[in-house]
Every structure is written in structure tokens, then in C-alpha cells.
């Protein structure tokens, strides 16, 4: 009977760990990674895998911010060109 309860406890803990690992995979995807290996690292390595996920740099926030900065830079340059504050050559130099 003790073996049954030990096995049941182990299975329950394994299922709980599976769901925790799924949550960390979602964090990985929010950080901009689509690789499933982080799921398995977290599942098999436990705390080490969790620390690896936490240490991953955030890819998703860097790219949109850079695009936003480039877009606003182009908009400002276009506005200056329309006002006559800069020449067409200067405008092309700014947006390139």
C-alpha cells in the first residue's frame, strides 16, 4: 500500500512540474524565443532550467523599440523637409 501512495505522489508531482514547465515555456515565448528546448531544459534540469529561462535576454522588446525609433526619426526628418529646414540630400542622409 505504501508503494501505491508513493507512486501516486510521484505522478502528481510530475504532473504539477509539467504544468510549471509549460508556464516557463510561455515566458520563453514572450521573451521572443520559439525553441522548445527551453521547455525540456526546464523539465529535466529543474531549478537550473528555470534560472536559464530567467537569464534569457528579451528579444521581443528590443526590435519593436528600434523600429519605433527609426519610424519617429523618419517622421521628424520628413517634417523638417516639408518645412524647408533641410534639403532633400540631408533628408536622404538621415533616413539611410
Q: Please identify which residue in the block is written with the cell numbers 528579444.
A: 59
Closest CA to 53 of 23, 13, 18: 23
Q: What is the CA radius of gyration of the chain?
A: 25
Q: Note the pTM of the prediction, 2 decimals.
A: 0.58
pLDDT in tens, 17-35: 999 999 999 999 999 888 8
pLDDT > 90? residue 80: no
The grid coordinates listed for 74 are 523618419
Give the best-scoring range by mean pLDDT among 13-27, 46-60, 61-75, 76-90. 13-27
Residues 73 and 91 sit within 8 Å (Cβ to Cβ):
no
Q: What is the CB-side half-sphere exposure of residue 3 using CA atoms within 13 A?
A: 0
Amino acid at each position: 500500500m505504501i508503494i501505491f501512495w508513493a507512486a501516486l505522489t510521484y505522478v502528481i508531482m510530475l504532473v504539477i512540474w509539467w504544468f510549471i514547465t509549460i508556464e516557463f515555456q510561455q515566458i520563453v515565448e514572450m521573451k521572443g524565443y520559439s525553441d522548445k528546448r527551453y521547455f525540456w531544459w526546464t523539465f529535466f534540469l529543474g531549478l537550473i532550467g528555470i534560472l536559464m529561462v530567467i537569464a534569457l535576454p528579451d528579444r521581443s522588446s528590443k526590435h519593436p523599440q528600434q523600429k519605433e525609433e527609426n519610424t519617429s526619426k523618419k517622421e521628424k526628418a520628413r517634417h523638417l523637409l516639408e518645412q524647408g529646414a533641410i534639403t532633400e540630400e540631408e533628408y536622404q542622409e538621415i533616413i539611410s
